[in-house]
Amino acid sequence: MEVILDVTDLHIEFHDHDLPETAVEDFDLMLGKGEIVGIVGESGSGKSMSALAIAGLLNRHAIKKTGRIMFEGVDLLTCDRKTLRSFQGDEISIIFQEPMTSLNPVKNIGWQVEEALFIHHKEIKKEERKKRAIEMLKAVGLENAEKVYKMYPHELSGGMRQRVMIAAAMIGNPKILIADEPTTALDVTVQAQIVELLKKINRERGTSIIFISHDLSLVSQLCERVIVMQQGNIVESGSTAEVFRKPRHQYTKKLIAAIPKIEL
């Protein structure tokens, strides 16, 4: 399998206060082309910080990062800003739990979906941008894409907003899509639809996906491989089926035991 992303020994430390705080201690991830990898772990275990580092979004001075994040022969931790920016949102995209905070409330949906094209592909003319945005909105399952294009974030349901976020993240046809709890704020039916959509994107475009979730059952539906994190460390990783069927680490066993069982 062709490796598209190779993260080794990633360490992230915050220096906002007197004492440094370690968010991620020792994170490794090898992501194959077209592969979907899940990251699970309790709140505060370092899932989002690892994801943000990969997406190139942890660039404050007070954040110290060591290790390597290799993408297309470039180390994203040490490359210059211009190179990093050329990847962000174009080659590597990220979507979050609550689209309302990522979408700009005063801009219409068309603007939000076209933004990455506007930044990274200035050569694409206005009409063509619009055409691609509408195609993308259709591809993420929004019927009436022409109408949605002109609407504003507050006029859409949570599920529609997450689809818009996915359209915006996918418009540049990135090689990697990072989804940080993209379904947590949605009801169960819509969650399942978003997972289906991610599967479809992976199947049809070959996009590699990093899927972060608290929901082990969604992870087992979507991901071939899973990483389990606890307190900034990876405590277990392997094929999803194997890890969930035969967890080796005590912490993974606890996570699995915590899945609510429906009593009939």
**Measured from the CB atom, is 20 or 206 closer to ligand ATP?**
20
Query: Whole-angstrom Cα distance, residue 133 to residue 127?
Result: 10
Q: Is 43 in the site for ligand ATP (CB under 6 A)?
A: yes
Q: Report helix, strand or coil for 134.
A: helix
Q: Which of residues 4-33 bind ligand ATP (CB under 6 A)?
A: 14, 16, 21, 23
Task: Give strand pairing partners of 41.
Answer: 229
> 58 near 48, Cβ under 8 Å?
no
Query: Whole-angstrom Cα distance, residue 45 to residue 107?
Result: 34
For 50, phi then psi, to 5°, come to: -60, -45
Query: Whole-angstrom Cα distance, residue 202 to residue 204?
Result: 6
Tell me how far, at minimum, the Cβ of 67 lies from ligand ATP, in Å: 15
Number of residues that bind ligand ATP (CB under 6 A): 12
Q: Is 191 in the site for Mg ion (CB under 5 A)?
A: no
Q: Is 101 in the site for ligand ATP (CB under 6 A)?
A: no
Q: Is 48 in the site for Mg ion (CB under 5 A)?
A: yes
Question: Quick count: other Cβ atoms within 10 Å of Cβ 144?
Answer: 10
Q: Is 50 in the site for Mg ion (CB under 5 A)?
A: no
Q: Report helix, strand or coil for 60.
A: coil
**Measured from the CB atom, is 45 or 112 closer to ligand ATP?**
45
Give the residue among 145, 157, 81 at the shortest CA–CA distance from 114: 145
The site string for ligand ATP over 45-84 (x = CB under 6 A, - otherwise) reads: xxxxx-----------------------------------
Tell me how far, at minimum, the Cβ of 76 lies from ligand ATP, in Å: 17
**Measured from the CB atom, is 48 or 102 closer to Mg ion?**
48
Give residues in contact with ligand ATP (CB under 6 A): 14, 16, 21, 23, 41, 43-49
